[in-house]
Structure 1
Amino acid sequence: MPQQAAPPGPTTGLFVNPAAARRAGFEAVCGDQFARLDLADSAEAALATPDLPGVGLLVIDLDRFDPELDHAGLARLVAARAGAPTFVLCPFANARWLPALMACGPVEYAIAPLDGEALRAALAARLAAGPTPLAAPSPRERALDGLQALRARVRAALGEGEELAALAERLCQALCGWPGVAHAALFYLQPGGDLQLQAQHGERNLNLAKVLGRADRLLQSPLRHAFPGLLAAAANTIVLLDDLDKSGEPRLADALRGHGIKLVLALPIPSGGPGTARGSLCLLLREARLFSRDELDALAEIADLAAVALRIADMNREGEAMLVRVTHLSTLDALTGIANRRQGERLLEGEIKRARRYKVPMALIAFDIDRFKDVNDRYGHPVGDLVLRAVADAARKLVRASDVLVRSGGEEFQVIAPHTSAIDGLKMAEKLRSAIEVTAMPGVDRVTVSLGVAQLGEHESADSLTVRVNAALARAKRAGRNCVELAMG
């Protein structure tokens, strides 16, 4: 339908956008709402406008402007207004413009995209507000006490220093205490991984994992360009969706609207590095509304606090993982990857106590590589190392899950075998001998092993058991090698 003619507006206007088509479109849709409307293609051109502070309303359409390249110029433009109002049309997917420009002067905004009718309505409401709409305290400004309370709740939630999941859950609970917030979520970029829904709290029947179709690998989600929580983390920007249909995803809009959600605001959690975000905080509100500079600044501060707390939680988690890894490595033989002598002694003591407690048998098998010194002397130590690995690998394939394979010395090994009698130990030792004898050894023709087997005595210590099994191993060596001997009681 053709637009109805409107009488010229009572004020002058200046519209700024770098695209000629958008300038022409704004003039066609809204030109009749001004007594006179000037157009500018850049902040520099607008700054050259005569009597800029006297222009009734400055309208900046942020579409096509780059936050990195154009911020300084637009900031000077807002500041040059000397307190006169500026009206900003801000894309929902790049709302980080708002707090930056609000810091330079009185700024009100509408979230784009807007069709012609919605744009005229937003502009008419702004023009009807008069020349000093921000002079009187607004309901938002009167809610500063609420912001202070929100900050206090968040600091308390983040101050306990627990592990990541608990910290994220407490933060979402604190954010839900802000009036109007129906649901809060924290999206977190896993170290070396992808974005995941770390925590959420609020409306009982609202599960964002169901709305988004997944809870992890969210940077691969088809909704990453539309849902503010994903977009804020991926693009490292504030995202403000004040009309769910602006997302361009009808199913997403309907799903959120079905839970009474009318507005979604997401803020990136800074990572400390350029161009990246650690994740995002996502607030789902029951009513569409405008946000003041104080509110956006407070939320940005909360995102910064979350970044610090998450970084500490990550450091704690990494420290614990490193400790586990160091502890694990300290129990392994570096060459073969099996338990080292110290770990073997500790585990042997434990298995002896368990065998006595439950009155079950336990056997210890000791074996070493026959004439291993000749291998090193003839082929060199690098080949000797390969032989040690091959013997350990062959033995590892034969031992049971409950058994422990230990490198107890240079070419010496043990198998701690719980629930194993002397006869069963002999059978296991013979299988080891046969398997190693036919195993292809890198760099040599073949190797053999000699083995001793001992069953734990009723009152025997680990030292005594080890002495007996080593004596049996020595007898196997004297018997011609490549054989098994049972320890004497």
Structure 2
Amino acid sequence: MLQQEQKMSHQVAVYLNPVAERRVHFQSLFGEQFARLFLADGLEQARVLLAQQEVGLLVIDLARFERGFDGEALGQLIGQRAGAPTLLLCPFESAGWLPLLMSFGPITYAISPLADEHLLRQVQAGDAMAAPPDEERLRALLATDARLQHAVAHEDDLANMAERLCAAIACLPGVMHASLFHAREGGELQLEAQHSTTGLSLARVLYRTDRLMHSPLRHAFPGLLAACTGEMALLDAPAKCGEPELAVALVDCGVEMVLAVPLPVGRSGAQRGSLCLMFDKARQFSAVELSAFGGFAQLAGVALRVADLSRENEQLAGRLVHMSSSDALTGVANRRHGEYLLSLEVRRARRYHVPLALIAFDVDRFKAINDQYGHPVGDGAIRAVAEAAQAALRNSDVLVRSGGDQFQIIAPHTSAIDALKVAEKIRLAIAATDIPGCDRVTVSLGVGQVSEQETPDALVVRVDAALARAKRAGRNCVELAMS
């Protein structure tokens, strides 16, 4: 320590930060430890000082700087140093500064907030550059990238893919836990997957694994912070998170450092989540490692997007099938789908020697409803009739809208006698239903059971004939089809 202080006393240093209070505080700590200490409140002043003085150490306190606005200029300032020591004081929630500024030249960094004694140690070691990753760590990064590529290429299921991604990353030396937070478009942030080499579960740390946008720890735990803000977060000491309970939980689990990298944004512009790694020891990352972690997050984001698209395509295909097989007004099976289902059930009944019944009905004097009250009321009447009939059916029965006010009911495992009971139940249910905008309505019904060797079309013709007899018999009644 004494040698470091003696060395510092012969150095010229520049401290750069736009906040006066931070400059005053730094001056109080280090004013007597450097031969000369210059305080710069902006980039232009720092640039002039570096041009006029032979500066041994440049300290850039990134608090209150804006990366989008100041990043390029700060990078040029580091590049101007030509390899001379630069120390970055980087807020843990804004670690995205690190890969950006590392691309301009060699730096070392310290994650803030820092206690005064820790700040002293960091500044005294400010010219100790982070060592590049050794061959073993580079091989581990390359192997992890290969495993991630394999997981993405050979897994379509979202849950399985996310678990394989986390398992691949948890194989990195020093990583004791890997997790993937994912917010599907228009959805809530949730823990998609996690993998631990020590049995650690984030449920113990976060107390929940879904609706994480509302977690009280979203500003403190790097995985949530990166997902919510789109900013890389690096917590190199649990106590720096500002939440004592979270810090204690991490320490109890053996976690000494947490890095979270945001996933790429989706089509809507909303942040999609983060890749979060927890380490058993704190250490400095090189530019190569941070770049690799960013690449892992990009790959995970692309994989999740592909899985989302696959799921969306399946949902779209399901909706298209539903639209092609359902009646737009009532939501029940349409005529074409009804014909397919009846043909299918006739073949099944014949193969397994079980009864199958068909019921046909329509609304009595429906044209008069349209003429007297208008088509909107007529449409409402059709919907009400379909809802009443559907509510009276068994789970195995299928309601089909076969025409304007005409319906069919396919009743598997049902004899003609049982179908008569079902038909009567439906007749009573519809007669008791209130129709918006008009009086109550009644229906007439025809019932038939498929016979040996009878085609679906022949069964329909026979049941329709029974329905016509019900109309002639005075309506609001049930007739059994003749054999």
TM-score, with structure 2 as normaliser = 0.93
Q: Does 1:477 align with 2:471?
A: yes
Partner of 1:155: 149
Offset of 1:333 from its aligned partner? 0.4
* Cα 1:122/1:274, change in 2 over 3 Å: farther
Q: Does 1:224 align with 2:214?
A: no
Partner of 1:109: 109
**Structure 2 counterparts to residues 391-410 of structure 1, below 5 A:** 391-410=385-404
Mapped to 2, the partners of 1:141 and 1:238 lie a distance apart of 26
Mapped to 2, the partners of 1:285 and 1:464 lie a distance apart of 73
Partner of 1:335: 329
2:342 alignment partner, one of 342, 348, 360: 348
Moved more, 307-316 or 380-389: 380-389
- Superposition CA RMSD, Å: 2.2
* Cα 1:199/1:110, change in 2 over 3 Å: same
Moved more, 213-222 or 163-172: 163-172
Q: Does 1:18 align with 2:12?
A: no
The one-letter amino acid of 2:460's match is: T
The one-letter amino acid of 1:155's match is: Q
Q: Is the partner of 1:126 in helix, strand or coil?
A: coil
Mapped to 2, the partners of 1:485 and 1:238 lie a distance apart of 74
2:411 alignment partner, one of 414, 417, 436: 417
Partner of 2:248: 254
Structure 1 stretches of at least 4 aligned residues deviating more than 6 Å after TM superposition? none
Partner of 2:51: 51
* Cα 1:272/1:332, change in 2 over 3 Å: closer
**Structure 2 counterparts to residues 188-207 of structure 1, below 5 A:** 188-207=182-201
* Cα 1:376/1:315, change in 2 over 3 Å: same
**Structure 2 counterparts to residues 278-427 of structure 1, below 5 A:** 278-427=272-421
* Cα 1:274/1:85, change in 2 over 3 Å: farther
Offset of 1:446 from its aligned partner? 3.4
Offset of 1:142 from its aligned partner? 7.4
Q: Sequence identity of aligned pairs in percent?
A: 56
Mapped to 2, the partners of 1:390 and 1:155 lie a distance apart of 54
Q: Does 1:173 align with 2:167?
A: yes
Partner of 1:91: 91
Contact 1:52 1:80 in 2 (8 A): no
Unaligned runs of 5+ in 2: none
Offset of 1:17 from its aligned partner? 0.8
Moved more, 281-290 or 30-39: 30-39
Offset of 1:357 from its aligned partner? 4.8
Mapped to 1, the partners of 2:369 and 2:266 lie a distance apart of 55
Moved more, 394-403 or 324-333: 394-403
Mapped to 2, the partners of 1:381 and 1:274 lie a distance apart of 41
**Structure 2 counterparts to residues 128-139 of structure 1, below 5 A:** 129=128, 133=129, 138-139=132-133
The one-letter amino acid of 1:403's match is: D
Contact 2:185 2:268 in 1 (8 A): no
Contact 1:44 1:73 in 2 (8 A): no
* CA displacement 1:93-142 (0-9 Å, x = unmatched): 11000011111111110111110111111111225x4xxx47xx644587
Partner of 1:461: 455
Moved more, 294-303 or 71-80: 71-80
Partner of 2:118: 118
Q: Does 1:236 align with 2:236?
A: no
Mapped to 1, the partners of 2:81 and 2:268 lie a distance apart of 32
Offset of 1:161 from its aligned partner? 4.7
Q: Does 1:75 align with 2:75?
A: yes
* CA displacement 1:50-81 (0-9 Å, x = unmatched): 53672100001111212222223212221222
Contact 2:445 2:478 in 1 (8 A): yes
Mapped to 1, the partners of 2:200 and 2:469 lie a distance apart of 73
Moved more, 152-161 or 205-214: 152-161
Contact 2:133 2:286 in 1 (8 A): no
Q: Is the partner of 1:54 in helix, strand or coil?
A: coil
**Structure 2 counterparts to residues 24-63 of structure 1, below 5 A:** 24-49=24-49, 51=51, 54-63=54-63
* CA displacement 1:362-398 (0-9 Å, x = unmatched): 3211101122233333433333222211211221221
Unaligned runs of 5+ in 1: none
Q: Is the partner of 1:232 in helix, strand or coil?
A: helix
Mapped to 1, the partners of 2:447 and 2:371 lie a distance apart of 29
* Cα 1:271/1:409, change in 2 over 3 Å: same
Moved more, 214-223 or 298-307: 298-307
Contact 2:256 2:280 in 1 (8 A): yes
Contact 1:237 1:267 in 2 (8 A): yes
* Cα 1:235/1:255, change in 2 over 3 Å: same
Moved more, 25-34 or 235-244: 25-34
Moved more, 303-312 or 317-326: 303-312
Offset of 1:300 from its aligned partner? 1.1
Mapped to 1, the partners of 2:274 and 2:205 lie a distance apart of 17
Contact 1:141 1:292 in 2 (8 A): no
Partner of 2:259: 265
The one-letter amino acid of 1:246's match is: K
Mapped to 2, the partners of 1:50 and 1:412 lie a distance apart of 88
The one-letter amino acid of 2:108's match is: E
* Cα 1:338/1:289, change in 2 over 3 Å: same
The one-letter amino acid of 2:181's match is: F
* Cα 1:425/1:12, change in 2 over 3 Å: same
* Cα 1:94/1:29, change in 2 over 3 Å: same
TM-score, with structure 1 as normaliser = 0.92
Contact 1:186 1:197 in 2 (8 A): yes
Q: Is the partner of 1:48 in helix, strand or coil?
A: helix
Offset of 1:254 from its aligned partner? 2.4
Q: State the number of aligned residues.
A: 479
Offset of 1:344 from its aligned partner? 1.5
Contact 2:176 2:198 in 1 (8 A): no
Moved more, 106-115 or 171-180: 171-180
Contact 2:148 2:165 in 1 (8 A): yes
